[in-house]
Structure 1
């Protein structure tokens, strides 16, 4: 299987573990999230439901995905006429959350499982997060979120905001943390993000764009799957072809880093979200890759499964429809 021997169960052990998992993907429709024929401001997203199946074939573990219902859901909350551009899904303290990268709002989802009717899904506002150290008035550009020691870590692209050759701000290099008591605090991760990009040979003005970072309680490490990887300075058009097949693993304090490769690279595809597959001791990952091509107005998304050392178990498989999905999570806490 190519798994790390210290964490990956032996092949015979898979027969004694769960083999099917409810899975959900949340859509970021960008400007198209606004419901055109609504008489009042209304914004929508979709949750694509699926089942991830695992089976043992000739002493090898194989994964397949069975697509289920698509559940539409809405909110009236917005910022300057835009909203509900959902970029991530994350469990924390028994609730499944989703995150608006336009308004900075964090929602708790209800009635989202396979046993629920598609139109019963609801998004309940939990808190709102602003950019940077929290003293700004702009909603946080949520891109990734993960639970660590009972707290909800919420991050952005990990890249400076640049105009021309000048750095305007580093707001998207801060991480927001929602405590067990519901209190927000803010950490400056500028040095962490700089270490990571320099480690993979993309020091400034090169860059990484992050939309998929998870904390592993098993390994006590950060797992990082960048959306974009570039040794060159940012260019809006060229950026569309700077997708990634890179995995970076960092110690808790980012003092130790290692890099791994995940399958072949398709330049327009980059990681937008991932989760560890249940009952694998954080040795197997299900990941979402997204595509956006401005010239053709085309968007698409792909799901893939691989081990933490980069062995692909399910090649990149397109999601149904033409929506851009940017968040993935299991729909139950297995």
Structure 2
């Protein structure tokens, strides 16, 4: 054995040699060369694979670039243009439909994506800014074949995240990337704590600290007459740029919002519109419904609200104010801050579903967080339910 170690660590100077061990002849240099060649080949192959994939994980390749780069994309997705006559700014916007059962088209399901322009002009005479909307002539139809219980593509929000326009289906829990008229599935969100065999009923989406937050109704899941079944809609999903999902129990936050609104259980709030304000470092909620009474499916249609709730990051300090008039059948379904306004001006959608009148509509409005109105509620063409708005 001593001779073996000497042969390895103190080889003779010849180009090749043999060493006798029992009846075997070991050609050491040849074996070392072969071993080094194999190792070198593996290293080269690894580097080639890394180069071809950009060194990204599978989840990151969904975005096409590194997650860090894509997550830091500018907002909005397109540059604003000068307003007419060079006054003010023109912002590209989009809204998305939730057609409920009407979304089915034979073997697929659809949603309508409508684009338009918001012309925004700050005045200097003390009056609210001027806000004017124009819309493209044709809507874009986006399709999917993914469904749950025969329903799908009931898209309930729009948000820009990681350089992409995303929407969430409140039936299947699928988060779609909307691009070039296509709905490309990115994530499937499980309900509640993530261990539930049902898709998450996502209703609002916002970006905070380089993460995408996706929330549900914010109240207990109940029967049509208000008996509590579970707390799954009170979880929030926090998603990284590369698609990793964390399921967060937000019951304390939602309960704090109910209390701040002056309600007590079995009273409730229903949330479909929530945004994190980067400029003000606070959460803002425009509840769709508010009631001091027990939930009732039919009565809920006439519990629209004009409440704005502003909460600090820990939900220990929450302020309540009112914006616009109360119209019982109109409830907030989505809103965004108008860029360049320091998160003080909001463009919002209000949905109407009135079974008694057999009426479904969407209204768009612009107002400030202190209650000034620049654009009163204006119906969108088509008598459809649009539940997501975003600057694109």
> What's the TM-score once normalised by structure 1's chain length?
0.88
What does residue 150 of structure 2 align with? 81
Deviations 1:99-142 (A, max 9, x none): 1000000001112xxxxxxxxx1111100001100000110001
Deviation, 1:42, is 0.4
RMSD value, Cα: 1.7
- Tell me, in whole angstroms, the C-alpha distance in 2 between the residues paired with 1:237 and 1:51: 36
Aligned partner of residue 124 in structure 1, secondary structure:
strand
- 2:227 paired with 1:227: no
What does residue 97 of structure 1 align with? 166
1:272-291 matches, within 5 Å, as 272-291=333-352
What does residue 120 of structure 2 align with? 54
Structure holding more strand per residue: 1
What does residue 55 of structure 2 align with? none
Aligned residues, how many?
305
What does residue 326 of structure 1 align with? 387
- 2:98 paired with 1:28: yes
1:1-334 matches, within 5 Å, as 19-35=89-105, 38=106, 41-57=107-123, 59=125, 60=127, 61-68=129-136, 69-111=138-180, 121-163=181-223, 164=225, 166-331=227-392
Deviation, 1:48, is 1.6
Structure possessing the higher relative contact order (Cα contacts under 8 Å, 6 or more residues apart): 1
Any gaps of 5 or more consecutive residues in structure 2? 1-82
> What's the TM-score once normalised by structure 2's chain length?
0.75
Whether contact under 8 Å (1:17, 1:279) holds in the other structure is: no
Deviations 1:244-273 (A, max 9, x none): 111000001101000111011111001000
**Cα–Cα, structure 1 residues 52 and 165, in superposed 2: closer, same or farther, change >3 Å?**
closer
Aligned partner of residue 226 in structure 1, secondary structure:
coil
**Cα–Cα, structure 1 residues 185 and 295, in superposed 2: closer, same or farther, change >3 Å?**
same
Deviation, 1:57, is 5.0
- Tell me, in whole angstroms, the C-alpha distance in 1 between the residues paired with 2:303 and 2:242: 40
What does residue 114 of structure 1 align with? none
- Tell me, in whole angstroms, the C-alpha distance in 2 between the residues paired with 1:217 and 1:72: 32
Structure holding more helix per residue: 2
Whether contact under 8 Å (2:113, 2:140) holds in the other structure is: yes
Aligned partner of residue 280 in structure 1, secondary structure:
coil
Moved more, 310-319 or 289-298: 289-298
Deviation, 1:55, is 2.4
- Tell me, in whole angstroms, the C-alpha distance in 1 between the residues paired with 2:297 and 2:149: 24
Deviations 1:187-206 (A, max 9, x none): 10011101111111112100
What does residue 32 of structure 2 align with? none
Whether contact under 8 Å (1:20, 1:51) holds in the other structure is: yes
Deviation, 1:278, is 0.9
Aligned partner of residue 242 in structure 2, secondary structure:
coil
- Tell me, in whole angstroms, the C-alpha distance in 2 between the residues paired with 1:290 and 1:165: 22
Any gaps of 5 or more consecutive residues in structure 1? 1-13, 112-120
Deviation, 1:166, is 3.6
Deviations 1:62-82 (A, max 9, x none): 101112131111111111211
- Tell me, in whole angstroms, the C-alpha distance in 2 between the residues paired with 1:110 and 1:180: 17
Deviations 1:305-334 (A, max 9, x none): 011212111100110111110111111xxx
- Tell me, in whole angstroms, the C-alpha distance in 2 between the residues paired with 1:167 and 1:221: 30
